[in-house]
Amino acid sequence: MSDIDMIRAARDRIGNNLRRTPLLSAPALDEIAGRRVLLKAECLQITGSFKARGGWSAVSAIVPQIRARGVIAFSSGNHAQGVAHAAREHGVPAVILMPKDAPRAKIDNTRALGAEVVLFDRERDDRDALGAELAERRGLTLIKPFDDALVIAGQGTLGLELAEQAARAGVTEADVLVCCGGGGLTSGVALALEADAPGLRVRTAEPESFDDVARSIAAGEIRRNDRLGGSICDAIVTPQPGNLTFPILNRLCGPGLAVTEEEVLRAMALAFRHLRWVIEPGGAVALAAALFRPRDIVGDAVIVVATGGNVDGALYARALQTLEAPGTAA
């Protein structure tokens, strides 16, 4: 099955079990960006992020007798919730390994979705050994966060929707900015648009100092991040692009963009004011690039994927403080 056929098959399996998120805009954001900005509101997806798509795609594709034993995932956040939701809806157990220091809200939300959360100590425990032991003993199927063809296909369903929605909005040529971690969403969307909207060019958006994907695309080979800790955009900081995702990103995506944390916080606050959606830091990187890197973007319109909305209150409150700062009250 070709890549696009896998994405269409994932869409068929997802059916009406997840939301078709809207593509929306706000005049005030157009003004700041200096061009039309169309935002795909994936923070309004079930579980609050696009990860519900990949989770559903993967869980729904497992042979029923195997699936009945359950699934397992490693995640401190959105992938955990996506897999937990898909497992619950399929009536099968989910075990999620999360670091002890993961945000309390994400642990609570994952448990609320019915998953068994196994906490590990980042320092003392061997996460992979712990997972392998659990998977083997209980016959659980591992759902990887991005470097998995079924997960990529699931995330690609967002691209199918985007192609239709952009065409209906009269946009057939534009940069599409996607918040990028391991590249599962970005590569899936790029494959979908290659087939259904070839005038839309995908570009990655990342936080500065964690722009492994942009550097990898520029170099034509995989580059790693120097460090992994210390970003507010925790959801999209990964060591390097995946072995499956990188060749797709390298073939289909334009130059990557990187923004500062201050710009991410301001983008979150402007979304609060003008869209009334909650966007998490890792989900606001693409909007920040659209608003604050206008010269690096081509065309009269830009499309932004707002990938998720799971963020702690204290960090969100910090973002809102940027509305008080001079020059940002637009």
The span of 6-14, 40-48, 70-78, 293-301 binding a second copy (CB under 8 A) equals: 40-48
Residue 283, classed as helix, strand or coil, is: helix
Which residues does 152 contact at the CB level (< 8 Å), separation at least 6? 6, 54, 146, 184, 187, 188, 191, 244, 245, 248
Of 19, 3, 23, 53, the closest CA to residue 167 belongs to: 23
Query: Site map for a second copy, 50-89, x if CB under 8 A?
Result: ----------------------------------------
Distance CA 155, CA 314 (A): 29
For residue 243 the two structure tokens come to: 């072995």
Cβ-contact 203, 187 below 8 angstroms: no
Cβ-contact 314, 16 below 8 angstroms: no
Of the residues 50, 56, 292, 316, which one makes contact with a second copy according to CB under 8 A: 316
Of the residues 7, 14, 43, 258, which one makes contact with a second copy according to CB under 8 A: 43
Pairing of strands 71-74, 254-259: unpaired
- Interface with a second copy: number of residues (CB under 8 A): 35
The span of 105-113, 118-126, 176-184, 259-267 binding a second copy (CB under 8 A) equals: 105-113
Whichever of 104 and 137 has its CB closer to a second copy, that residue is: 104
By the rule CB under 8 A, 273 interacts with a second copy: yes
Whichever of 172 and 321 has its CB closer to a second copy, that residue is: 321
Of the residues 95, 96, 113, 288, which one makes contact with a second copy according to CB under 8 A: 113
Query: Site map for a second copy, 275-304, x if CB under 8 A?
Result: xxxxx-------------------------
The span of 59-67, 94-102, 136-144, 314-322 binding a second copy (CB under 8 A) equals: 314-322
Report phi then psi at 77, rounded to 5. -165, -110
Distance CA 273, CA 83 (A): 31
Q: Side chain identity at 198, as an amino acid letter? A: P
Cβ-contact 186, 54 below 8 angstroms: no
Of the residues 9, 44, 134, 149, which one makes contact with a second copy according to CB under 8 A: 44
Alpha-carbon torsion 90, 48, 241, 74, what sign? negative
The span of 153-161, 221-229, 231-239, 315-323 binding a second copy (CB under 8 A) equals: 315-323
The span of 55-63, 74-82, 107-115, 229-237 binding a second copy (CB under 8 A) equals: 107-115
Minimum distance, C-beta of residue 20 to a second copy, in the bound complex (Å):
10
Residue 146, classed as helix, strand or coil, is: coil
Distance CA 155, CA 261 (A): 25
Of the residues 136, 314, 326, 327, which one makes contact with a second copy according to CB under 8 A: 314
Residues engaged in binding a second copy (CB under 8 A): 19, 22, 24, 27-28, 31, 43-44, 48, 104-105, 108-109, 112-113, 269, 272-273, 275-279, 309-310, 313-314, 316-317, 320-321, 323-324, 329-330
